[in-house]
Structure formats: structure tokens, C-alpha cells
């Protein structure tokens, strides 16, 4: 992104929203710069001014999506910490639940990227995002030794993209929630975390039960609802 790197203005925001709609409807290569600007109600010059190219629009869309995902997962972890949860594995599960829930709300974008409908060179960008995600998860998943931490983080982080793709295929939020719950259950089993019970008490005197906090962490629509 060029001119709007410090934050989207109204015109850049309209271009990104139009591009997200069109890319998910027609595909990246099936969408032209003119298609985007006509839907956004702006000029071709505006797109090049803000993003440099159609490729730049795609990269900006992915960056916006990942920034939103990072925000959702941070909120989830912060909420559970406020409820007195210190176990990094539980914090990881809450963040993963929030990430997957948000993926459903961005289902078109998730399908597009997962299926390889992207400009040349984008795979390297996505890989760097994944590496950073794995690095952050390793901090939470302090299990037994450095090698175990790295292996476990790689296993769970590497599989999240696949689960997100399956979530994106769900027809309803209820179906997505059921799939996400099963994925969290499996991750919890792999990490050795007992399942959360609705009756689990407030552990920090915060008035918020852990199960309630975990659900609240994943509640709410993504920035661009389906």
C-alpha cells in the first residue's frame, strides 16, 4: 500500500471493500482495475495512487485481514487473562477460536487465498505471516523443552489454515461454530488441556467464569461480515 499506509482514508477503504467483493465473486484474475474502481465509485488513478497496482490492492486486503485477525486474537487472550487464566495453552485455544470465528466472516477471502487465487509472489508474503503467527504461538505453548515447543507450535499452527478453509465452507455460523468447537476440542486434547465446563468457577474474582470469557472472546462479527 502506498499513500494510505498510515491508515485508510474513505477512498482507499471503498477501493479495498470493492476489491474484496469482486475478488471473491470473480477471482483475482477475473477482476480488472476498472471493475474495482467502478464498484468503488472512484477513478483508476485513485487506485494507482493508493495501492500502485491491482497486486498492491490484493496485498493490502490480506494485510488488513491479518491485522484484524491479530486484533481479535489479542482481545481474546486479554479477556481470558483478565479472568485470571494464565495457562498459555488455554490462551492459545481462546485465540485460535477467535481467529477461526473471524475466518468465517471473511470466508470469501479465506477461500480465495487458500485456493491459490493470488498474484505472483504472494505465497512468500503469506508464508511470512504464518511464520510470525507460529512465533507468537510458541511463546504461549511453553510445554516441556524448546524442541517440543517448536514442534507443537508448528503442528497446531500449520493446521489452522486448513481448519480456517473448512470453516469458510460452512453455510451458516451455527455450522461454523460446531466445526470450530470440534477443532478446539482436538487441539485441547493434543495440548493436554482438559475440556472447559460451563460450571467452572471464576478463578480471579472477576465475576467472569472461564467458559463465559472463552465464549465472549469469540463473539461478535468480523470487520466485514459475510
**Closest to 157 (Cα-Cα) out of 83, 73, 61, 60:** 73
Q: 118 near 112, Cβ under 8 Å?
A: yes
Report the pLDDT value the prediction gives residue 88, as an integer from 0 to 100: 86
Report the pLDDT value the prediction gives residue 215, as an integer from 0 to 100: 52
pLDDT range class, residue 121, cuts 50, 70, 90: confident
Planar angle of CA 128, 47, 39, nearest 5 degrees: 105
79-109 burial, b if ≥16 CB within 10 A, otherwise e?
Answer: bbeebebeebbbbbbbbbbbbbbbbbbbbbb
**Stretch among 57-66, 90-99, 185-194 having the lowest mean pLDDT:** 185-194
User: What's the rounded Cα separation, in Å, for the pair 222 and 147?
Assistant: 35
Phi, psi of 41 (to 5 degrees): 70, 30
The chain-wide mean pLDDT, for the chain, equals 80
Which residues are within 8 A (CB) of 65 and not within 5 positions of it... i.e. 6 or more apart? Answer: 106, 109
Higher pLDDT, 214 or 76: 76
Q: What is the pLDDT of residues 146-168, one digit of tens each?
A: 777 677 777 887 888 899 999 99
Is residue 72 scored above 70 in pLDDT? yes
Q: 46 near 25, Cβ under 8 Å?
A: no
Q: What is the pLDDT of residues 171-213, one digit of tens each?
A: 999 999 999 999 999 999 888 887 665 434 343 333 434 445 5
User: What's the rounded Cα separation, in Å, for the pair 124 and 129?
Assistant: 9
Average pLDDT over residues 61-84: 90
Is residue 77 scored above 80 in pLDDT? yes
Q: What is the pLDDT of residues 123-146, one digit of tens each?
A: 777 777 777 776 776 677 765 667
Average pLDDT over residues 53-80: 91
**How many CB atoms within 10 Å of residue 61?**
24
Report the pLDDT value the prediction gives residue 8, as an integer from 0 to 100: 52
pLDDT range class, residue 52, cuts 50, 70, 90: very high
**Stretch among 35-49, 61-75, 121-135 having the lowest mean pLDDT:** 121-135
Report the pLDDT value the prediction gives residue 157, as an integer from 0 to 100: 78
DSSP-assigned states of every residue in 57-93? HHHHHHHHHHHHHHHHHHHHHHHHHHTT---HHHHHH
The C-alpha cell 494507482 sits at 48
181-195 burial, b if ≥16 CB within 10 A, otherwise e?
Answer: eebbeebbeebebee
Higher pLDDT, 221 or 111: 111
Higher pLDDT, 222 or 187: 187
Amino acid at each position: 500500500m502506498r499513500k494510505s499506509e498510515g491508515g485508510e482514508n474513505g477512498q482507499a477503504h471503498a477501493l479495498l471493500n470493492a476489491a474484496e467483493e469482486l475478488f471473491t465473486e470473480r477471482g483475482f484474475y477475473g477482476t480488472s482495475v476498472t471493475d474495482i474502481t467502478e464498484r468503488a465509485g472512484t477513478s483508476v488513478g485513485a487506485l494507482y495512487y493508493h495501492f500502485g497496482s491491482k497486486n498492491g490492492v490484493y496485498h493490502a486486503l490480506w494485510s488488513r485481514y491479518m491485522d484484524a485477525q491479530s486484533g481479535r486474537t489479542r482481545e481474546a487472550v486479554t479477556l481470558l487473562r483478565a479472568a485470571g487464566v494464565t495457562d498459555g495453552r488455554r490462551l492459545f485455544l481462546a485465540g485460535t477460536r477467535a481467529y477461526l470465528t473471524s475466518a468465517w466472516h471473511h470466508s470469501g477471502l479465506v477461500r480465495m487465498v487458500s485456493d491459490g487465487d493470488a498474484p505472483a509472489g504472494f505465497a512468500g508474503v503469506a508464508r511470512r505471516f504464518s511464520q510470525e503467527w507460529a512465533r507468537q504461538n510458541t511463546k504461549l505453548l511453553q510445554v516441556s523443552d524448546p524442541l517440543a515447543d517448536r514442534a507443537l507450535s508448528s503442528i497446531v499452527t500449520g493446521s489452522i489454515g486448513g481448519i480456517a478453509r473448512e470453516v469458510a465452507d460452512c453455510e451458516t455460523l451455527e455450522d461454523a461454530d460446531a466445526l470450530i468447537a470440534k477443532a478446539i476440542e482436538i487441539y485441547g486434547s493434543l495440548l493436554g488441556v482438559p475440556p472447559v465446563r460451563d460450571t467452572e468457577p471464576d478463578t480471579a474474582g472477576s465475576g467472569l467464569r472461564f467458559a463465559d470469557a472463552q465464549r465472549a472472546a469469540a463473539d461478535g462479527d468480523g470487520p466485514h461480515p459475510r
